[in-house]
Structure 1
């Protein structure tokens, strides 16, 4: 995935080769910052308002003051698409750190936050969406403020790498026996026609697609129950699925080498995929609906 040439840095546009921050940068040295990944379909953002709202919530939670308003940032992000002549499926990565200053754990005074955003192509993974993916389970060793989309992702990275090394797509995390979420997505269990997922507490990221999944479920009259389910419950599940901006609504067909139900994506997952496709206005020929 190559980066598009024009980068948004602070409130200006520059070529990617000219983007330069000092080595004493708090995002680099402390993970002192927050970020967002926003999905793009056919050159248009999906859930832009929701992602920008969450970025501001995360920044406020760690006491970073952004110099832009939400509307100003959204306008710049839309301009970023135009300047790069972006018309494909892709994503934008947007990061804000506390800024550049001599290294000190204490916040620097009168230092502006650093912000940048860049675009990449990202085709939909139709094979995984149609056939489902395999996952592993791992103990959740992250901090207690996972609702903040911070740059402190080392536990997530290690969990994702372990999944990859075992030939799997994701790692489903659990804490005190209850599933929280995954290394980079929210997790759901379907049993007896009901969707179960961890409540939106500080222990999980309040996913923008997760909020949409809840809406889809309500529209389809599918009970959406915000109660944690156990690792042991997974083996008895009718369906398991994940959601995120890059995974969309992703069926899980195997967990820890054990098939879920018959090893095929389930009916409720398919209904949610269809709702997602309609909501995101996905119409390109390479984004056909998965077959039931």
Structure 2
């Protein structure tokens, strides 16, 4: 928090309210010039020293902890909704990956070669990997439902019939009918295009799901086989950069209804949704 941000928070804090009451308020209550000047001076000094005082810093830390707790509870609620919307077989896939990641995180904690900072960084990366995997599972099912609801052969048949009907209407005759048909034709073509795009997105979604599952297995194998325990961090970081692009793609996909969550927040959540 910058100095200016701290002053803005202080201005809205109960500390500022009490400062005003005990300085300006008391000064005004004296009903004399010296008292008012003393109150004003004390108020100005309060602005200089109180924002950097331990009392105010402790209040800021407590408020931040409360805000973060509220955000985490909101995220857990949203994640549970996404998880509960999945088919039971898809939920089982997430549960299996979460269990594998938890086992790997525990191995990191038990490894005497790793310091606490490396363990923290790896654990956070893997927790975010699990959240991305859940988003991909949810998006994949949303795409499945859309694909199942739209039949391209039927759409193509309707488009062909409507184009034939439009061509049969003479220029300048039945203008209202032609406008209506043209509007319906545009809608059908848009649906067909969206159906084709959904198929491509579904293929990519499925591929990314498999990639994450394979990455977790690879990380575990590399951790157990490598003599240099710290070397795995570079692999995890490299995979995270690639998956950043996956998350950007998901965010721009209309079939992804999951919220964009800061990495620190996703990392703070337990991997198992029921916890």
TM-score range, shorter chain: under 0.3
Larger RCO (CA within 8 A; separation ≥ 6): 2
Q: Which structure is higher in helix share?
A: 2
Rg bigger for which structure? 2
When normalised by structure 2's length, the TM-score is: 0.25
